[in-house]
Amino acid sequence: MEELLDFLLANLYILLRYLSLLTVSILLTLFFLTYLTRFQIESDLLKPNYRGEKIPAAGGLVFVAVLPFTVGFGFLFAVNSYVTVQAVLFLIVILGMGLAGLMDDCFGSHAVKGFKGHLKALLKEGKMTTGCFKAIFGGMIALVFSTANSRLTSFQPNPWLVALDFMLVGLAANIINLFDLRPGRAGKVFLISFCAVFLVSNMNFEKFIGLFLPVLVILLIYLPRDLKSELMLGDVGSNLLGAVLGMMMVWMLNVFGKIIALIICLALQLAAEKVSFSELIEKYGPLRYLDQLGRDQDD
């Protein structure tokens, strides 16, 4: 009986820590979402959405604002997933990717589009676009992550696995951004991808899931406002969410799962250069229904 009581108490403490972490995430998200929205309006950080309406352009700043607090709380109260060095890597990646995306939101234009367009502007015109800078800076963040992560898990890192992790984080950061063209679409793609990785993960689940739960909480609070066209996720949010998805795949999938995920990411990236995802979604009823779910009917 005493052993059973000790077991229940130990697990109760773990549960209470997670509940405290999620409560902190909720309260901070509600606070920062209101404050940052007002800040963007007062600072005129507004951009026209696809209907031409000017709305706050960097709603994803709420992730950058809240997640450092959740990581700090996790360290302070020794929440599972926050007692490893990987939590520091997680923080570095989200802040780095968020900063790169924010620069594009603040200073970028839509004159150059697509990976080919930014590459052409750099090589043929000698012009460094914000999109090109974001790709280079984001690539360096992905390289730092993949290299550091490999050295934390092995004394002799496999260069092929380092390259695989690098490509997963780098590509995933851009994939979510490709879908940020209609209210709520990028958030839905992230949620579906999050659930898919969650369901097929077969390693390190308990070790890392605590890092990603606050991201999910923040998104679920933020998403209704995006669906109502009150806020735009922006590159700061879409790049950050994509990087989070990339880290999930690196830490929670085996090598075979990572290869499949990389193939999917590459296929989506190549497809984006050839076809319009918006037109493709409109063409198929189930995709159109899912895309419209939660959104005003006239969107």
> Residues 63-102: pLDDT tens digits?
999 999 999 998 888 787 777 788 999 999 999 999 988 8
Average pLDDT over residues 181-188: 89
Q: pLDDT averaged over the chain?
A: 85
pLDDT (tens digit per residue) in 37-73: 998 888 888 888 877 788 888 899 999 999 999 999 9
- According to the model, what pLDDT value does residue 201 have? 84
pLDDT (tens digit per residue) in 137-169: 888 999 999 999 988 877 677 889 999 999 999
Residue 152 belongs to a domain = no
Residue 109 has pLDDT above 50, yes or no: yes
Residue 161 belongs to a domain = no
HSE of 207 in the Cβ direction (CA atoms, 13 Å)?
14
pTM exceeds 0.85? yes
CB 73 within 8 A of CB 24: yes
Residue 90 belongs to a domain = yes
pLDDT (tens digit per residue) in 263-297: 999 999 888 888 888 888 888 888 888 888 877 76
Residue 143 belongs to a domain = no
Kindly write down the DSSP assignment for every residue of 116-140, as one continuous string. Answer: HHHHHHHHTT----HHHHHHHHHHH
Residue 228 has pLDDT above 60, yes or no: yes
Angstrom distance (rounded) from CA 99 to CA 186: 18
Q: How far is CA 254 from CA 95, 199, 242, 249, in A?
A: 26, 13, 19, 9
- According to the model, what pLDDT value does residue 105 have? 81
Angstrom distance (rounded) from CA 182 to CA 161: 35
- According to the model, what pLDDT value does residue 266 have? 93
Residue 264 belongs to a domain = yes
Which stretch of 3-7, 144-148, 164-168, 198-202 has the lowest confidence by average pLDDT? 3-7
User: What is the identity of the amino acid at 19?
Assistant: L
Tokens of 25: 């995430």
Residue 154 belongs to a domain = no
More confident position, 197 or 205: 197
Closest CA to 227 of 286, 281, 183: 183
Residue 32 belongs to a domain = yes
**pLDDT band for position 112 (50/70/90)?**
low
**pLDDT band for position 250 (50/70/90)?**
very high
Domain count, the chain: 1
How far from the centroid of its chain's Cα atoms is residue 150's Cα? 21
- According to the model, what pLDDT value does residue 120 have? 59
Burial bucket for residue 20 (CB in 10 Å: 0-12, 13-18, 19+): middle
- According to the model, what pLDDT value does residue 129 have? 72
SS3 label, residue 56: strand
Maximum pairwise Cα distance, the chain: 75
**pLDDT band for position 5 (50/70/90)?**
low
pLDDT exceeding 90 applies to what percent of the chain? 43
Residue 246 has pLDDT above 90, yes or no: yes
Residue 199 belongs to a domain = yes
For 101, the domain range is 2-137+171-292
**pLDDT band for position 10 (50/70/90)?**
low
- According to the model, what pLDDT value does residue 4 have? 44
* Residues 6+ away with beta carbon under 8 Å from 226: 59, 183, 184, 187, 232, 233
